[in-house]
Amino acid sequence: MVLSQGLFYFCAMKKIAVFTSGGDSPGMNACIRAVVRTAIYHNLEVVGIMQGYKGMIEGGENFIELNSRSVGNIIQRGGTILKSSRSKEFMTPEGRKKAYDNLVAHGIEGIVCIGGNGTFTGAEIFFNEFGIPSIGAPGTIDNDLYGTDFTIGFDTAINTAVDAIDKIRDTADSHGRVFLIELMGRHAGFISLAATIAGGAEQVLLPEIVEDHSKVVEFFKGRTNTKKSFSIVIVAEGNIEGGAFKIDELLKKEIPNFDSRVVILGHIQRGGSPTAYDRVLASRLGAGAVEALMRGEKNKMAGLINNKFVLTPFHDAIYMKKDLNPDLVRLVEIFNC
Ligand code: F6P
């Protein structure tokens, strides 16, 4: 019998696995630590699978026993000690069968997978085929998963972006230039929108809002009489017309003497020591994922909504649309006068 969230329940599970998959995000290590220590606290054995689904398929040295000391001194580290990958082979039935055989050979009865929508898509298919229960912890800087207000790594990524914007602002001011800064988010503008507000950028182009560069052209043309001499424009990676270089090209065609520079922040946003917020989030979700598995939950993603722990079916987490906060979108317009 185990006490969790005020309830006693019976847990027959003895051994679980944890792995990270897809694009890494700061806080994944804090989540791995939480999974391992929570499992050990509840007398479960834990295996770490190196390289995500790729390691699950390859087996062998990719399966490592973890104990409390294995996850010491990692809470502050970016990246993932378990490494990560995007596995094409796991998308095939043959690949998944090899992965299943390796899990069975190691006596694994439940899985905590840390990753984004690709990771959970794989976990859902795998559960439907082989019945090994999984609980996901949302690890992605993109914050594009339904069923949690924030994903692990998002807070660190926006802080990294804002730090860069602050620095670029100095040189933009000195030279009276426009900077177009491209931020990550393959299909989602959460990083770009938050960084626009926090970094004081005047304009943003987001994948979720169908607006083209003419909005930015109008903004600059309408601003010729104001005293402001420099500007920051954020372009989300997944913007419909293309990234920051493409937008810059379009703007230069329409605005005479447009003195601009382009910065692509790229993978810098994926690295670095996680913020305190990401560490707490990762710790709560990792611990909650293990206890959910022990209660017999399966095929769900752990999340926090309004600071409360919740579980959302993988299917909804992947396919339901998480909307940008309309209040933030409105603030961009209010502040750019
Ligand atoms: O999903 C996280 C993310 O960083 C996206 O924002 C970005 O589009 C993508 O991963 C980049 O992936 P990769 O590192 O495989 O190039």
Per-residue model confidence as pLDDT tens digits over 213-266: 999 999 988 876 556 789 999 999 999 999 999 999 999 999 988 999 999 999
Q: State the closest ligand 1 atom to the C-alpha of 188, by its place in the atom list counted from 1.
A: 6
Ligand 1 centroid–CA 186 distance in Å is 6
Q: Identify whether residues 245 and 282 lie together within a single domain.
A: no
- On whether residue 36 sits in a domain, the answer given is yes
Tokens of 165: 């914007």
Q: Is 184's C-beta closer than 6 angstroms to any atom of ligand 1?
A: yes
pLDDT of residue 50: 98
- Is 312 a member of any domain? yes
> Same domain, yes or no, for 205 and 237?
yes
Contact 147, 317 (CB under 8 A): yes
Residue 50 beta carbon below 6 angstroms from any ligand 1 atom = no
The closest residue, in CA terms, to atom 3 on ligand 1 is 23
DSSP letters along 98-155, please?
HHHHHHHHTT--EEEEEE-HHHHHHHHHHHHHH---EEEEEB-TT---TT-SS-BTHH
Together in a domain, 35 and 148: yes
Asked whether residue 310 falls in the same domain as residue 231, the answer is no
129 shares a domain with 30: yes
User: Which of 270, 285, 304 represents a domain boundary (last residue)?
Assistant: 270
Closest ligand 1 atom, residue 141 Cα: 2
Would you state the pLDDT for residue 51? 98
Confidence bin at 10 (pLDDT 50/70/90): low
Atom of ligand 1 nearest to the CA of 186: 8
196, 256: one domain? yes
**In the numeric block, which tokens belong to residue 154?**
């998002």
Write down the pLDDT at residue 1: 46
pLDDT at position 229 is: 80
Residue from 276, 176, 292, 165 nearest 223 by CA: 176
Residues 137 and 255 both lie in one domain: no
165 falls within a domain: yes
Give the per-residue pLDDT at 225.
Answer: 57
The share of the chain scoring above pLDDT 90, in percent, equals 91
Residues 259 and 205 grouped into a single domain: yes
Count of CB atoms situated within 10 Å of the CB of 157: 33
pTM reported for the whole predicted model: 0.95
- Here the CATH number for the domain that contains residue 183 is 3.40.50.460
Q: Is 24 a catalytic residue?
A: no
Does 331 fall in a domain? no
User: 324 lies in a domain?
Assistant: no
Q: How far apart are CA 283 and CA 38, in angstroms?
A: 10
Pair 13, 135 in one domain: yes
Report which protein residue has its CA nearest ligand 1's atom 8: 186
Provide the pLDDT confidence category of residue 56 given band limits of 50, 70 and 90: very high
Catalytic residue among 24, 101, 142, 323: 142
Per residue in 97-133, pLDDT (tens digit) is 999 999 999 999 999 999 999 999 999 999 999 999 9
95 and 117 part of one domain: yes
Are 219 and 301 found together in one domain? no
What's the pLDDT score for residue 85? 95
Q: Cα of 18 to ligand 1 centre, how many Å?
A: 21
Cβ atoms within 10 A of the Cβ of 328, count?
15
Range of the domain at 174: 154-270
| Residues 53, 22 within the same domain | yes
Counting DSSP H helices and E strands in the chain, the numbers are 11, 13
Q: For the chain, how many structural domains are there in total?
A: 2
